[in-house]
Amino acid sequence: MIEKISGSEQLKADYERLKFEQSRATELSGYNFNKKRGMASEIRNFKDQEEEARKYNGLRDQMVNYLYDYSLTC
């Protein structure tokens, strides 16, 4: 009876729909946040691998130069 007088009975369907939409939006927001965090982690890993490859190539070039210099002195 109070629901009829206050008009809340008419708004119940809208309330339930909006409550569901809010729940869905919260779920999607969490999913997108985790996806973004995962992508940032992958980018960090790729940058680390790139730095490691540069370091390796530098050391390899240095070794080749040492071997070349050594072969010239022998």
Sequence letter at residue 55? K
Instruction: Please give the DSSP secondary-structure letter assigned to residue 7.
Output: T
Secondary structure (DSSP) of 4-23? HHHTHHHHHHHHHHHHHHHH
Q: pTM above the 0.75 mark?
A: no
How does pLDDT run across 28-69, given as a tens digit for each residue? 999 999 999 999 999 999 999 999 999 999 999 999 999 999
pLDDT score for 3: 66
